Amino acid sequence: MSQSTKRLALYGAGGHGKVAAEIAEQIGWDDISFFDNKYGEKTQCGRWPIVGNELALFERLNEFDSIFVSIGNNQIRANKQTALIDAGASLAILISPRAIISPSVQVGYGSLIVQGAIINIGSQIGSGVIINTGACVDHDCNVEDFAHICPGTMLSGGVQVKKGAWVGIGSSIIQSVVIGQDCLIGAGSVVVSDIADNTKAFGVPAKIKH
């Protein structure tokens, strides 16, 4: 094998993993393998091989240049990423070449920026974040660690999305709103005021659901 080969391991061999693997391939990772606890039942994720389970991944960390946690669930992704860092793994950042991102934007390790996403000047993207297909993050937003901005979501300027929040597909968040930690914003919601930590909000305008 050539010394120039870049080897990437992805943990999590579902549909989200296929998206991550394709982006990795597009940006130059030329040897991509999956690890998943369904190894044995499954041997492929799309066109990429599944080569072991979670235990095997931790045993083989030194065989890879970088690791990426390709799991959509925010809490599980956070737990797995933290465990990998504690084990000394180097985590990749995967940004689609078809995303539009201001040069001023900072993106943390373990984050995935998918095709068609737009992130404007002054915004910050934490670690383990997903900015999904066609999502728009306008100027001066702060998306904290392990949040998920789902496909087609629109964040206006100055929005803060706290750690672990899930902003559902097609949602719209007006300027300067704060979405609290571990919140869930329902699909298609319009958020016009701050949402407290650990709550669910749905509708137009979005209202807290108990």
- Please list the active-site residues: 139
206 close to 188: Cβ distance less than 8 angstroms: no
Determine the residue type at 112.
L
Residue 128 is classified by DSSP as T
CA dist 127 and 19 (Å) reads: 18
DSSP element (H, E) containing 173: strand 172-173
Contact of 54 with 61, CB cutoff 8 Å: no
Question: Strand 160-161 vs strand 142-143: parallel, antiparallel, or unpaired?
Answer: parallel
Q: With DSSP H G I counted as helix, E B as strand and the rest as coil, what are the percentages for the chain, rounded to 5?
A: 15, 30, 55
Amino acid (one-letter) located at 84: L
Cβ 24 vs Cβ 95: under 8 Å: no
